[in-house]
Structure 1
Amino acid sequence: MNYILIGDSGHGKVIEDCIRANGHQVIAKLDDKYPSLFKMGSYMKGPITAIGNLLDVNTKVVISIGHNAIRKKIVERLQLKEELYGTVIHPSAIISPSSKIGYGTVVMPNVVVNADSLVDNHVILNTGCIVEHDCIAGNFVHISPSAVLTGGVIVQEGTQVGARTSINPTIQIGKWSMIGAGSTVIQNIPDHVTAVGVPAKIIKERGTFGD
């Protein structure tokens, strides 16, 4: 299988390593910092609008941008059918057979997703994070490296959980919020806020898409 990455970024490099670890290859890296389509080594590079020239039945697309709101805006802009998006899971990840991983989602090395969890579409499960049993990670969520969602946690659309954060069982975190790195979340967090600390406390209201 071939892949097109949307976003020529450091995050994209890690996704490419995951793709290669599965025996597949990246054939193009598209980013609007490039004014026109050109070849660089084994890749085609160019603006996002060049995607129509590169898609075929053997090619999948992944949005390789860590910023959740930008990832959503690009998905809305492209208007691709869901079957054109790839799901990339590094072979070192441990995924329960009773869990579900959505399209466009990337699961980095050493991630654990345990029983009956739902990881929705265009989610980033970053290196070494743990999603325990019966959790839900909504569309465009980013669970940062080494973060832990204990059992029954719900993280709603667009929220980012910072590196090494721990979220207590059955906690719910609203849409488009940010949980700062190293936090411990012991109570529910609403939509559109930033919360940090041990225990996590709200320090800032955020925009509609967490900007």
Structure 2
Amino acid sequence: MTGSGRDVSLLPFVILGAGGHAKVLLALLQSMGAVVKGVCDPGLAQSGIECWRGVRVLGGDEALDRLDPTQVSLVNGLGQVIGSDRRMQVFLELTAKGFTFAPLVHSAAWIDSTVVLEAGAQVMAGAVIQPDSVIGANTIINTGARIDHDCIIASHVHIAPAAVLCGGVKVATRAFVGAGSTTLQGLSIGESAIVAAGSTLVRDLQAGHLVVSSPMRIRESKFKVQSKRS
């Protein structure tokens, strides 16, 4: 629910940004059969590009001033970058102006009917979210992530591709859970904490802290590659 009193999922969508994350979201919208009104991206606009991946370029950020907030639903196409609050700031600024961000779910994701998706939550292809979990506003559940039962994920979080949260995990706002990581059941991840890619979290992670896996070691193999003789 967005609290707007109207079903924003039925409105045409406008994508913010045209980077890699925006590409994935366009594919998500296409999987839903959604109507995409256009994309706003300063770089495309400055380059004079009028069409991006078959979608009309509406302009840069100033194009939003020409839109009626009650007639479109925005899609936050900015990826979440560690150490940057830009994605969150865009969401909060435009929400304050009356725009809405619908929760989005790829047609190839699986979500139990008891799951709560707040405004602007994005669930990518192959993701699984199990019963009684909550996904906060503007949070990304990326490709192939697994969220088990009773997980509570706050706003502005990124659960990266193939990350696994076992049952009852709590994730605070602005946390980043890296690709291919595993968080064991019942643990808590604090505000702005980072679980590095490939890590296994076995105890609570305090706010602002980082957990990493053992350093990767690369050494010469004992098996030599022999070139073929002509």
Q: TM-score range by the shorter chain?
A: 0.7 to 0.9
Name the CA distance, whole Å, in 1 between partners of 2:25 and 2:70.
Answer: 21
Of 88, 92, 101 in structure 2, the residue corresponding to residue 76 of structure 1 is 92
Mind listing any 5+ residue stretches in structure 2 that lack a counterpart?
1-10, 215-230
- Is this contact kept in 2: 1:38–1:44, CA < 8 A? yes
Name the CA distance, whole Å, in 2 between partners of 1:141 and 1:158.
Answer: 5
TM-score, normalised by the number of residues in structure 1:
0.86
- Is this contact kept in 2: 1:37–1:46, CA < 8 A? no
Name the CA distance, whole Å, in 2 between partners of 1:87 and 1:81.
Answer: 16
Mind listing any 5+ residue stretches in structure 1 that lack a counterpart?
199-211
- Is this contact kept in 2: 1:37–1:45, CA < 8 A? no
Structure 1 or 2, whichever has the larger Rg, is: 2
- Is this contact kept in 1: 2:69–2:98, CA < 8 A? no
Listed as ranges, the matches of 1:24-43 within 5 Å are 24-33=34-43, 34-35=45-46, 39-40=50-51, 42-43=55-56
1:56 CA drift (Å):
5.4
Q: Deviations over 1:80-101 (max 9, x none)?
A: 436x212110011111111101
- Is this contact kept in 1: 2:165–2:183, CA < 8 A? yes
Of 151, 160, 166 in structure 1, the residue corresponding to residue 182 of structure 2 is 166
Name the CA distance, whole Å, in 1 between partners of 2:12 and 2:189.
Answer: 35
Q: Equivalent residue of 2:211, what SS?
A: strand
Instruction: Tell me how large the CA RMSD over aligned residues is.
Output: 2.0
Q: Which residue is 1:209 aligned to? A: none
Q: Deviations over 1:128-173 (max 9, x none)?
A: 1011000011101010011000000011101110001000001000
- Is this contact kept in 1: 2:13–2:37, CA < 8 A? yes
1:193 CA drift (Å):
2.0
Which stretch shifts more, 43-52 or 6-15?
43-52
The amino acid of 2:197's aligned partner reads A
- Is this contact kept in 2: 1:147–1:161, CA < 8 A? yes
Name the CA distance, whole Å, in 2 between partners of 1:194 and 1:49.
Answer: 37
The amino acid of 1:129's aligned partner reads A
Listed as ranges, the matches of 1:43-192 within 5 Å are 43-55=56-68, 57-67=70-80, 69-78=85-94, 79-81=96-98, 84-192=100-208
1:70 CA drift (Å):
1.4
1:35 CA drift (Å):
4.6
1:103 CA drift (Å):
1.0
- Is this contact kept in 2: 1:108–1:125, CA < 8 A? yes
1:76 CA drift (Å):
2.7
Which has the larger strand fraction?
1
Percentage identity across paired residues of the two chains: 28
Q: Deviations over 1:71-121 (max 9, x none)?
A: 111123322436x21211001111111110111111000111001000010
- Is this contact kept in 1: 2:41–2:57, CA < 8 A? no
Whether 2:32 is the aligned partner of 1:22: answer: yes
